[in-house]
Chains A and B, each alone.
Chain A
């Protein structure tokens, strides 16, 4: 019997514990942000404990920061949380990419960008989208604040080994269809909890041909299918991405030799396999209040299957059987740990170039990090966005979760490149429609969703 990528990574990190019971796992990289860490640091302080491995810990500020003017935090409670992180990092000796720093940004954007994220690692963060880092061939998952405290104090975590699910992605995407559409289609097909209790591995010729940015968009949303871990085997694309980054290994060739052992021996080794052909996939848009409530752009909204659907239709103020392309859009948001990387902004800019937003559409473009912002400006993307009528903002989580001043107003339908369309997620009574960067940009031009596979729409 062979082993999966996940099995090999897991075995390399078990310190103690028998299979079938919670095992103590070593953590290679612990990413920290301001929202889920203050109580953890307080716990250390109260118990006179220290951070075991400061060099394996890295902090930034992302959830709370305003993105209209990042240097002007008006909310006193937000400011206190930001200042608390700074104080804690100083006290415990942790590296911090603070507001204004070249390295600041969304935690799941900066980890890979700085070369902190590497193949073969275990990565945790007090944030459910930590699965993003699994795209590098690592076990990466979100944890709660008590676990943050545990990792700070011990550099380890107790976990029950999950089962493994291989998701075989086959075929070539049509032009205009993106990695985001693959993960949205999977969740629409298999539901918001198909991955609960599993570590997902995406594999196949489709994955092999994707860029690291696109791979990250897929792993990022594993949690929306219930799986706290989503991963892909590291390959030449991965190694090239890591090479030369600020915190990449100095002995790169030795590291690559080591990383090459991490792959699944045979699909027969997974506990479960899903086959998914992407050749005929259409772009997806969400209509309801969880990510499985999504349809292909060419489709119609579904029947009311149960009370959960009725509730979603009431909240979204939409009707069954209407065409997905008829969903009205008054706001677009481009950014987040799902789609806030340079490649995502380039894709949105490609669509928006030479166009203007439809009347009554507001657009916020929020780069995933300070570096993404600077790189985009070097390419002139900011000018394309501004010419189209969009606001070009500072880096942060922004209206993906709207705990900063960046909120979508009540009743507004917002096409969004983010990951969650829960009730109130982007602002109280705001109506979120998830889609890819190109689809969101095109919806901004037209004031409703359009099928970007049709040339005449852009």
Chain B
């Protein structure tokens, strides 16, 4: 997993609440057996018109927003389906950070596996970030747990284990396999009714 420490980037605001993973990546794109290539389908139904042309009114299509790496959104971002394709699509499009009011538990976990940092900040802070110009950058400092926008600094909370994981880009399975003996011990102590 790609590590994140200090990141500076431009933003895209999508301030609706309850943006579900069906919107982030519609089901017709879940048939693939790879982890990559989902960025071109990110927010597909909002991003493209019925005839397949990009919807010029949708913010992701605006030329001045290209290259943005930070998504600003509402409450309960990533609710609904557990599809990790949502995190893959955000990452593949170029997003490294999401700043929302809250997240669904499953989407949050999926972000922690893919180096997409989910930050929680109050509405007031997010509204200020949503109002900045497309070329203006904000700075996320994960070690310090701060987001800096227009010389204002906002502190955010994150569990220390997930924080370490983002900073080091650790692979979970390698870590867990170090506990193999403990897992075997646990299995040997389990009740069996077969």
- Are B186's CB and A15's CB within 8 A? yes
Interface centre among A84, A192, A250, A428 (most CB of B within 10 A): A192
Question: 11 pairs across A/B with beta carbons < 8 Å?
Answer: A22-B162, A24-B176, A35-B30, A63-B30, A78-B31, A126-B82, A128-B81, A193-B76, A196-B102, A403-B30, A424-B45
Contact of B27 among A24, A156, A402 (CB under 8 A): A402
- Are A192's CB and B106's CB within 8 A? no
- Beta-carbon contacts under 8 Å, A45-98 to B: 47, 49, 52-53, 63-64, 75, 77-78, 80-81, 84
- Measured CB to CB, the nearest residue on chain A to B31 is A77
Contact of B106 among A21, A81, A228, A258 (CB under 8 A): A228
With a CB–CB cut-off of 8 A, which chain B residues contact A378?
Answer: none
- Measured CB to CB, the nearest residue on chain B to A195 is B105
Question: Of the 9-residue stretches B17-25, B53-61, B123-131, B143-151, which lies at the interface with chain A?
Answer: B17-25
- Are B173's CB and A150's CB within 8 A? yes
| Least Cβ–Cβ distance between A18 and chain B, in angstroms | 10
- Are B20's CB and A15's CB within 8 A? no
B172 part of interface (Cβ distance < 8 Å): yes
- Are B173's CB and A153's CB within 8 A? yes
The contact string, 1 if C-beta is below 8 Å from chain B, for chain A 14-39, is: 01100001101010000000011011
6 extra A-B contacts, CB within 8 A, seeds A77-B32, A308-B16: A24-B183, A154-B180, A249-B194, A258-B193, A423-B23, A425-B22
Contact A15 to B183, CB < 8 A, known contacts A81-B31, A146-B113: yes
Task: State A403–B27 Cα separation when bound (angstroms).
Answer: 5
- Measured CB to CB, the nearest residue on chain B to A250 is B194
Contact of B193 among A24, A84, A252 (CB under 8 A): A252
| Least Cβ–Cβ distance between B100 and chain A, in angstroms | 11
- Are B105's CB and A162's CB within 8 A? yes
The contact string, 1 if C-beta is below 8 Å from chain B, for chain A 140-156, is: 01111111011001111
- Are B79's CB and A193's CB within 8 A? yes
| Least Cβ–Cβ distance between A383 and chain B, in angstroms | 33
Which A residues are closer than 8 A to B by beta carbons? 15-16, 21-22, 24, 26, 35-36, 38-39, 42, 47, 49, 52-53, 63-64, 75, 77-78, 80-81, 84, 126-128, 141-147, 149-150, 153-156, 158, 160, 162, 192-193, 196-197, 223, 226-228, 249-252, 254-255, 258, 290, 307-308, 311, 401-403, 420, 422-425, 428
Task: State A425–B26 Cα separation when bound (angstroms).
Answer: 8
- Beta-carbon contacts under 8 Å, B151-180 to A: 159-162, 172-173, 176-177, 179-180
Q: How many A-B residue pairs have CB under 8 A?
A: 177
| Least Cβ–Cβ distance between B124 and chain A, in angstroms | 16
B80 part of interface (Cβ distance < 8 Å): yes
The contact string, 1 if C-beta is below 8 Å from chain A, for chain B 27-58, is: 11011111100000000010000000000000
B191 part of interface (Cβ distance < 8 Å): yes
- Are A153's CB and B177's CB within 8 A? yes
Task: State A149–B32 Cα separation when bound (angstroms).
Answer: 17
Closest 8 A-B residue pairs measured CB to CB? A249-B193, A144-B84, A146-B113, A38-B33, A403-B27, A144-B110, A142-B82, A255-B193
- Are B193's CB and A254's CB within 8 A? yes
With a CB–CB cut-off of 8 A, which chain A residues contact B182?
Answer: 15-16, 24
- Measured CB to CB, the nearest residue on chain B to A311 is B16
- Are A144's CB and B82's CB within 8 A? yes
B109 part of interface (Cβ distance < 8 Å): yes
- Measured CB to CB, the nearest residue on chain B to A20 is B159
- Are A22's CB and B161's CB within 8 A? yes
- Are A424's CB and B26's CB within 8 A? yes
Contact of B80 among A144, A145, A420 (CB under 8 A): A420
B114 part of interface (Cβ distance < 8 Å): yes
- Are A144's CB and B172's CB within 8 A? no
Task: State A150–B177 Cα separation when bound (angstroms).
Answer: 10
With a CB–CB cut-off of 8 A, which chain A residues contact B190?
Answer: 26
Task: State A64–B105 Cα separation when bound (angstroms).
Answer: 25
Which B residues are closer than 8 A to A by beta carbons? 15-18, 20, 22-23, 26-28, 30-35, 45, 75-76, 79-85, 87, 102-106, 109-110, 113-114, 159-162, 172-173, 176-177, 179-180, 182-183, 186-187, 190-191, 193-194
Task: State A227–B187 Cα separation when bound (angstroms).
Answer: 28
- Measured CB to CB, the nearest residue on chain A to B103 is A196
- Are A154's CB and B22's CB within 8 A? no
Contact A226 to B194, CB < 8 A, known contacts A15-B182, A36-B83, A425-B22: no
With a CB–CB cut-off of 8 A, which chain B residues contact A80?
Answer: 31, 33
With a CB–CB cut-off of 8 A, which chain B residues contact A154?
Answer: 173, 176-177, 179-180, 183
- Are B172's CB and A158's CB within 8 A? yes
- Are B106's CB and A144's CB within 8 A? yes
Task: State A39–B193 Cα separation when bound (angstroms).
Answer: 34
Contact of A36 among B82, B103, B159, B177 (CB under 8 A): B82
- Are B176's CB and A150's CB within 8 A? yes
- Are B28's CB and A403's CB within 8 A? yes
With a CB–CB cut-off of 8 A, which chain A residues contact B80?
Answer: 128, 223, 420, 422
Task: State A255–B193 Cα separation when bound (angstroms).
Answer: 6
- Are A147's CB and B193's CB within 8 A? no
With a CB–CB cut-off of 8 A, which chain A residues contact B106?
Answer: 128, 141-144, 223, 228
| Least Cβ–Cβ distance between B85 and chain A, in angstroms | 8
Contact of B45 among A77, A197, A251, A423 (CB under 8 A): A423
Task: State A258–B106 Cα separation when bound (angstroms).
Answer: 30
| Least Cβ–Cβ distance between A127 and chain B, in angstroms | 6
With a CB–CB cut-off of 8 A, which chain B residues contact A141?
Answer: 106
- Are A81's CB and B33's CB within 8 A? yes
Task: State A196–B79 Cα separation when bound (angstroms).
Answer: 10
Task: State A42–B36 Cα separation when bound (angstroms).
Answer: 13
Task: State A144–B45 Cα separation when bound (angstroms).
Answer: 22
With a CB–CB cut-off of 8 A, which chain A residues contact B81?
Answer: 127-128, 401, 420
With a CB–CB cut-off of 8 A, which chain B residues contact A15?
Answer: 179, 182-183, 186
With a CB–CB cut-off of 8 A, which chain A residues contact B179?
Answer: 15-16, 24, 154, 156
With a CB–CB cut-off of 8 A, which chain B residues contact A47?
Answer: 173
| Least Cβ–Cβ distance between B9 and chain A, in angstroms | 24
